[in-house]
Structure 1
Amino acid sequence: MDERMRIKENDHVRGNREAELVLIEYADFQCPYCARAHKALTSLQQQHGDRVALVYRHLPLTDLHPFAQPAAEAAEAAGAQGKFWEMHDALFENQGMLDEDALPAIAANLQLDAQRFRSEFEGGQHRARVESDVQEAHAAGASGTPTFFINGERYQGDSDHASLAKAIEGALGRG
């Protein structure tokens, strides 16, 4: 398997790092298809529990979504305080309201250290991490969002619940 498709030490992983199914998603917080996938994946992971690990990697499509890059950096700033997944969820749940004012407000709702968040975010402290994910996405052949890899294999289907459920259940030997 391509090393890019394995869970790395610094990956954001929801679920069991030793799960039998690893789904890597390259995504953009402003992408409506990623938001649809977020809802589906949340439900599917609850259904399959420790058998599935979700890995989130950044691929902000800055030419289409002006707040995708800042949202990715905000998620990393929240992650530095142990709340990546809380910020991830909040960004998708508030996708329609993403703008410059929304990110600090979301951070405040998550009870992050506001001064630290602002300092890291405004200082671009997490930009390199996001850019590293983008370069890796491009090297793996991902140019649009969401792009999924299931156990190292590129998934070509849709991001709706039924399509993702079929792919996950098939990979788990239930399809």
Structure 2
Amino acid sequence: MGHAGRQDGRATSGYHPPVPAPHVPDTSRGKQPDRGGTSARSRALELAILLLALAGAGLAAELTLLHGRAHAGGASSFCAISERVNCDKVALSAWSSLLGVPLAAWGLLAYLVIAALAASALRRPRAEAGWPAGLLLAASGFMAAGAVFLAAISELVIGSLCIVCAGSWLVSFALAGCAFVLARRAGGPAAAIRADLAALRARPLASASAALVLLAASGGLFAFYAGPPPAGTGTGAPAAAAPAAKLGPPGSIVLYEYSDYECPFCAKSHEANKPILASRPDVKVVRRHFPLDDTCNPKLTRPFHVGACDLARAAICAEAQGRFEQMDDALFRNQAEKAPVRELARRVGLDLPRFDACLSSPDTERRLADDIESAIQAGVRGTPSYVYGGKVYPGDLATLLGAKPATTSGG
């Protein structure tokens, strides 16, 4: 009993068994933020950025080609679907170029830069963990902001959507999202950008070489687009005109031109034709109307050049007052301004009450219907198109004077 009492005395006299020390995790490996260099998730993001940048470069290359074809007056593109969804209309707008170079070409260069940065991230050594998350975020963020701006311009100013452009915008947003996540894993966006700038300063020779490559690429774009257009692009240069003997004897060449005042190609051809006709007195062009508008053209089954029928009526009524050439110029130049036709009539000096009455006259409607029917009978499929000797020649006048008949057209 006494022995048991001594044991109880130990238990009650202040003795306590050792208390294990609390577990403190080893944080020595996490003092520096993981800048994504070793984690599989960061590698996956870098690979995603590379693939997205290459996809964006493909879209930008296609847009650059579309821009070139549109400005050369070629056939309408696959994405000229309607008035509201029309890559050609966007490509021919004043917003499609920056410093004389197509925005698509600048976009192609930017996507290639991002792809190169992503490729360098995938190849970097472990000691350079995090590079170049900050630069990727800055570049893709800039492109995403530009995409928002261009989307607003397309909707509010141009009034048409380019579906290939929209695809490029989505790629820009996806790139910015991936780059943001990558930068967060590299210590945060601000820290990632500071670290990348410091890395650039630490390698002045490599940084200067990269800058020179970018400058050379930019200079190449300026040089290419500042030069003369390639021969045969259909830009309407007088030198492209062939001798009159190819179409008929001098003084007897009468061409019937079918046009549409909402057709961007027609507007370009209209301006390009003036010096050609000035140097070719043997050629006479007779204008006929073929608006690609389903409200008056039975060949159209869906809305395309909305309002083109009303503009054709305005031209017919100006012709009735002897002011066709003035109204013709005004209607084509109005594609950007979109002023009401009555305002155009006032500017070119028409009798406005007489003009108003003419717009709803049965004679005007009959004239427009006759032009459209003659185009259908001749086999006209798009604008601008010319008919000579019963054959249809789509495209610009310079090409017509030296080309064989074709079967497709712009519009």
Task: Calculate the TM-score normalised by the size of structure 1.
Answer: 0.75
Which letter maps to 1:140?
A
What is the distance in 2 between the residues matched to 1:170 and 1:38? 19
- By percentage of residues, which structure has more helix? 2
Q: What do you get for the CA RMSD once the two structures are aligned?
A: 2.1
Tell me by how many angstroms 1:170 deviates: 7.1
**Gapped runs of 5+ residues in structure 2?**
1-249, 294-302, 405-411
What is the distance in 1 between the residues matched to 2:400 and 2:345? 34
Q: Please identify the structure whose Cα radius of gyration is greater.
A: 2
1:11 corresponding residue in structure 2:
none
Tell me by how many angstroms 1:82 deviates: 0.8
2:282 corresponding residue in structure 1:
51
What is the distance in 1 between the residues matched to 2:267 and 2:273? 10
Q: Between the two structures, name the one with larger relative contact order (CA 8 Å, sep ≥ 6).
A: 1
Say whether the 8 Å CA contact 2:311–2:341 is kept in structure 1: yes
Aligned match of 1:111 in 329, 346, 349? Answer: 349
Please give the secondary structure, in 2, of the residue aligned with 1:94: helix
Counterpart check, 1:85 vs 2:318: no
Aligned match of 2:366 in 123, 128, 132? Answer: 128
Tell me by how many angstroms 1:97 deviates: 2.8
Runs (4+) of structure 1 exceeding 3 A deviation are 122-125, 150-153
- Cα offsets for 1:137-174 (capped at 9, x unmatched): 00110121111124543224x32xxxx32532679xxx
Which letter maps to 1:55?
V
- Cα offsets for 1:90-127 (capped at 9, x unmatched): 111222233xx520011001111111101211446411
Aligned match of 1:71 in 289, 311, 314? Answer: 311
1:61 corresponding residue in structure 2:
292
Please give the residue correspondences for 1:143-154 in structure 2 after superposition, counting only pairs within 5 Å: 143-154=381-392
Structure 1 window deviating more from structure 2 (34-43 vs 108-117): it is 34-43
Structure 1 window deviating more from structure 2 (35-44 vs 70-79): it is 35-44
1:95 corresponding residue in structure 2:
335
Structure 1 window deviating more from structure 2 (55-64 vs 141-150): it is 141-150
Q: Using the aligned pairs only, state the percent identity.
A: 35
Tell me by how many angstroms 1:35 deviates: 0.8
Say whether the 8 Å CA contact 2:378–2:387 is kept in structure 1: no
Aligned match of 1:21 in 234, 253, 276? Answer: 253
Aligned match of 1:168 in 381, 401, 406? Answer: 401
What is the distance in 2 between the residues matched to 1:141 and 1:167? 16
What is the distance in 1 between the residues matched to 2:320 and 2:305? 24
Say whether the 8 Å CA contact 1:21–1:151 is kept in structure 2: no
What is the distance in 1 between the residues matched to 2:390 and 2:374? 14
Please give the secondary structure, in 2, of the residue aligned with 1:126: helix
CA 1:109–1:124 in structure 2 vs 1: closer, same or farther (change >3 Å)?
farther
2:272 corresponding residue in structure 1:
40
Task: Calculate the TM-score normalised by the size of structure 2.
Answer: 0.33
**Gapped runs of 5+ residues in structure 1?**
1-17
- Cα offsets for 1:35-76 (capped at 9, x unmatched): 11111211210121x211011100010031112100000011
Say whether the 8 Å CA contact 1:22–1:151 is kept in structure 2: no
